[in-house]
Structure 1
Amino acid sequence: MKIFLAGAGGAVGRRLVPMLVAAGHEVVGTSRSEAGARRVRETGAEPVRLDALDAPALRDAVLAARPDAVLHQLTDLSAADGAANSRLRRLGTRNLVDAARAAGVTRIVAQSISWVYGGGEGPATEAEPLDLDAPAPRDAMVGAVAELERIAGELPEAVVLRNGLLYGPGTWYAPGGPVAAALRGEDGGPYLAGLTANAGVASFVHVDDAAGAVLTALEWPAGPVNIVDDEPAPAAAWLPVLASALGAPAPAPSGAPPARWERGASNARARALGWAPARPTWRTGFADQLR
C-alpha cells in the first residue's frame, strides 16, 4: 500500500515509519525540519519537508504521492503550547483532509486522545460523548479534538485512534523529558504545572504500542477506537512508579479531588479488533523506557 504519513517526525511517526516499511508499505512522510526529514529517509521512507498549515504545499505533496491511505500524526507539542497544538488539530486536519479528497483518498487514520470524554463512572468507552461542555481552559482542547475528529470523519473510511498518555522514547514521560523535570522541581511547562499524586484516573500507552495500532488500523472499520493499556489508574498509584523509574523524587500524595472527566478509558474495542498492547500496564512499561 502507498502511505502518506503526515507527522512522520513526531513521537509516534518516528516509531511508525519502520513498522510500515517492514510490513511492505511504500511510505512518504512529512516533517517540518531538515533534521526530521533526514530521519524519515534514514528509516526507509521518502521525506517531504513541509508545514501542514501550508495548505497548497500539503495538497501538492499528497497529489504527488498518490497514496492509498493517509495517516494523520500531526502534533505541535515541543513548546507545550496548547494553542498551537489546537490550531494544528483544526487547520492541519482541514488541510490534510482536503488534500486527501483532492487525491481521491478515502481512508485516513488520525491521532486523537482519550482524555476528552465527559464525566462518568469507570473507564470511558467510544460510545460515550466528548466533554464539549467543559469549562475553560479544558474547553479549548476538547473543542479542537472534536473538530479534528469531525473533519477526519468527512472521509468515508476514517479511523480515529484516541491514544492514552504516551510514554516511551520521544515523549514527555521519557527520561530527560519535561515530566522528569517537573518531578525534580524544575519547569516542566504549563501542561505539567498541576502534576499531583491525586485520585484522578489516567490511561497510558507506550509509543510503540500506539504506532502498532496505526499500522493495524489500516484494516479497521471507520470510527473511534481507544488505544490505551489495560490499567487505568489514579495518579496516586502511577506517579510514584514513574518517579522511581525516572530517578526522581515522588511527589507527596494529594487530597485534591479529581475532575469528573479523569476516569481513564477502556481498550475493549481495540482488543476486539485485534490490537493488544505489548506493554499491558504502565507498572512495568515505565521501567522499560530505561532499556
Structure 2
Amino acid sequence: MRVFVTGASGWIGSHTVPHLIAAGHDVVGLGYSDDSARRVEALGATVHRGGLDDLESLRAGAKGADAVVHLAFKHDFDDYVGAGRVERAAVETFVDELAGSGRALLLASGLVGTPGVTMTENDRSLFSGPDAPRGGSEGLALEAADRGVRSVALRFSATVHGVGDHGFTAVLTQIARERGVSGYVGDGSGRWPAVHVDDAGRLVALAVDKAPAGSAVHAVAEEGVPSREIAEAIGRAVGVPAVSVDPADAADHFGWLSRFWGMDAVASSAITRERLGWEPVGPTLVEDIAAGAYDHAARG
C-alpha cells in the first residue's frame, strides 16, 4: 500500500515509518520544513511538503494514498483550543477525501477515561465536538466508518518512552532538575499507561494492515504506572528526592503539565493484542529511566 504519514519526522512517526517500510509499504511523509523533509528522507520515505494548516496539501497527500496515518499534532499548550481546531480541520479534510473509498484513516489519540476504571478499546472517547480536546477528532474519524472510511483510533499511552524522548517524562525530568525535587501530585496514586516507542511504531504498522473500521487500538504495554513510582525513578536519575506536591500547588510547580500529571488514566490493550497479534517487547518506563533514556533532560 501507499501510506501517507503526517508527523513522519516526529517521535512516534520516526519509529513508525521503518516498520511500515519493512512491511512492504510505499511511505510518503509530510515534511513541513527543510529539516523535517531531510529526516523523512533519511527514514527511507518520500517527502510530501506541507503542514497541518495547509489543508490542500493534506488533501493532495491523502488523494494518492491507500492509507493515511495522521500522527502530527500542534502541541501548543498555550493555545490548546486553537490546536484542537487545527486538528479537527485536518481530520475533516482527510475524511472528505477518503469517504466512500474504503481506504484507511488512522489517527493519533490519547487515553483518558474515568479515574479508577480501566479503559478498553470498546470504550468511546469522552471528548466529542469541535470544542473538545483535540477538536473531538477521534469521534469525528470513527464516525466516518459509516461513510466508507476504514477509520481507526490510535490511542497512545500518556508516556511513549525511549532514548531521545522529549515528551511528558522528559519535561518531568527537566522540572525535577530545575526544582531540586522530583514531584508527584498528592499521594502519587494517579497512574499513567506506558509503552516503549518502538513497540508503538510496530503496532501502528500492524494496525495499517489489520485494524477494522471503527475500531480503537491501544498502544499500552503497562496498564498504569503509579506517578509516585515514576517520580521516584526520575529522582534517582537526577539525584534529587521525590516529594509530594499538594494538588493546590500543582499548577505552580508543574506548569502546563499539571493538567496531565497526577491524573489516573489506566488502560488495557488486551483486545489490541488479540486482534492484531501485537506483544510489546521493549523495556518498561522505569527501566528506561534507570538506563539513562532521559539523561538529556536530567543533565540539562
> Shorter-chain TM-score: what band?
0.7 to 0.9
Query: Any conservation in 2 of the 1:70–1:108 contact (CA below 8 Å)?
Result: yes
Which piece of structure 1 moves more, 77-86 or 205-214? 77-86
Q: Does residue 238 in structure 1 map to residue 230 in structure 2?
A: yes
Q: Does residue 279 in structure 1 map to residue 273 in structure 2?
A: no
* C-alpha deviation, 1:4, in angstroms: 0.9
Q: Which amino acid is the alignment partner of residue 196 of structure 1?
A: V
Instruction: Please give the alpha-carbon distance, in whole angstroms, between the structure 2 residues aligned to 1:45 and 1:278.
Output: 25
Instruction: Please give the alpha-carbon distance, in whole angstroms, between the structure 2 residues aligned to 1:225 and 1:266.
Output: 10
Q: Does residue 96 in structure 1 map to residue 94 in structure 2?
A: yes
Query: Any conservation in 1 of the 2:227–2:262 contact (CA below 8 Å)?
Result: no
Query: Any conservation in 2 of the 1:118–1:132 contact (CA below 8 Å)?
Result: no
Q: Which of 196, 202, 216 lines up with 2:206 in the alignment?
A: 216
- Judged with a 3 Å threshold, the aligned counterparts in structure 2 of structure 1 residues 88 and 278 are, in CA distance, closer, same or farther, namely farther
Q: How does 1:174-253 map to 2 (within 5 A)?
A: 177-185=170-178, 196=185, 198-218=188-208, 219-222=210-213, 223-245=215-237, 247=238, 249-253=240-244
* C-alpha deviation, 1:164, in angstroms: 0.4
**1:136: which partner in 2?**
none
Instruction: Please give the alpha-carbon distance, in whole angstroms, between the structure 1 residues aligned to 2:153 and 2:220.
Output: 13
Q: Which amino acid is the alignment partner of residue 89 of structure 2?
A: L
* C-alpha deviation, 1:83, in angstroms: 3.1
Which piece of structure 1 moves more, 197-206 or 35-44? 197-206
Where 2:265 maps in the other structure, the secondary structure is coil
Aligned-pair Cα RMSD in Å? 3.0
- Judged with a 3 Å threshold, the aligned counterparts in structure 2 of structure 1 residues 170 and 230 are, in CA distance, closer, same or farther, namely closer
Q: Does residue 125 in structure 1 map to residue 123 in structure 2?
A: no
Query: Any conservation in 2 of the 1:238–1:283 contact (CA below 8 Å)?
Result: yes
Q: How does 1:1-291 map to 2 (within 5 A)?
A: 1-63=1-63, 66-77=64-75, 81-101=79-99, 104=101, 106-115=103-112, 117-119=113-115, 121-132=116-127, 140-141=132-133, 144=134, 146-155=136-145, 156-165=149-158, 166-168=160-162, 169-173=164-168, 177-185=170-178, 196=185, 198-218=188-208, 219-222=210-213, 223-245=215-237, 247=238, 249-254=240-245, 256=247, 262-273=264-275, 274-279=277-282, 281-288=284-291, 289=293
Instruction: Please give the alpha-carbon distance, in whole angstroms, between the structure 2 residues aligned to 1:123 and 1:250.
Output: 30
**Where in structure 2 are there 5+ consecutive unaligned residues?**
249-259, 296-300
- Judged with a 3 Å threshold, the aligned counterparts in structure 2 of structure 1 residues 61 and 171 are, in CA distance, closer, same or farther, namely same
Query: Any conservation in 2 of the 1:196–1:253 contact (CA below 8 Å)?
Result: yes
* C-alpha deviation, 1:73, in angstroms: 0.6
Query: Any conservation in 2 of the 1:230–1:280 contact (CA below 8 Å)?
Result: no
Identity within the alignment, %: 27
- How many residue pairs align between the two structures? 269
Q: Larger % of helix: which? A: 2
Instruction: Please give the alpha-carbon distance, in whole angstroms, between the structure 1 residues aligned to 2:84 and 2:190.
Output: 23
Where 2:178 maps in the other structure, the secondary structure is coil
Where 2:91 maps in the other structure, the secondary structure is helix
Instruction: Please give the alpha-carbon distance, in whole angstroms, between the structure 1 residues aligned to 2:61 and 2:178.
Output: 44
Query: Any conservation in 1 of the 2:141–2:152 contact (CA below 8 Å)?
Result: no
Provide TM-score, normalisation by structure 1: 0.80
* C-alpha deviation, 1:195, in angstroms: 5.7
Instruction: Please give the alpha-carbon distance, in whole angstroms, between the structure 2 residues aligned to 1:5 and 1:132.
Output: 24
Query: Any conservation in 1 of the 2:121–2:216 contact (CA below 8 Å)?
Result: yes
Query: Any conservation in 1 of the 2:232–2:242 contact (CA below 8 Å)?
Result: yes
* C-alpha deviation, 1:290, in angstroms: 6.0
Q: Which amino acid is the alignment partner of residue 265 of structure 2?
A: R
Instruction: Please give the alpha-carbon distance, in whole angstroms, between the structure 2 residues aligned to 1:248 and 1:91.
Output: 44
Q: Which amino acid is the alignment partner of residue 150 of structure 2?
A: E
**Where in structure 1 are there 5+ consecutive unaligned residues?**
134-138, 187-193
Instruction: Please give the alpha-carbon distance, in whole angstroms, between the structure 2 residues aligned to 1:283 and 1:254.
Output: 21
Where 1:171 maps in the other structure, the secondary structure is coil
* C-alpha deviation, 1:145, in angstroms: 5.7
Query: Any conservation in 2 of the 1:30–1:47 contact (CA below 8 Å)?
Result: yes
* C-alpha deviation, 1:81, in angstroms: 4.7
Instruction: Please give the alpha-carbon distance, in whole angstroms, between the structure 2 residues aligned to 1:259 and 1:38.
Output: 34
Instruction: Please give the alpha-carbon distance, in whole angstroms, between the structure 1 residues aligned to 2:220 and 2:53.
Output: 29
Instruction: Please give the alpha-carbon distance, in whole angstroms, between the structure 2 residues aligned to 1:145 and 1:161.
Output: 16
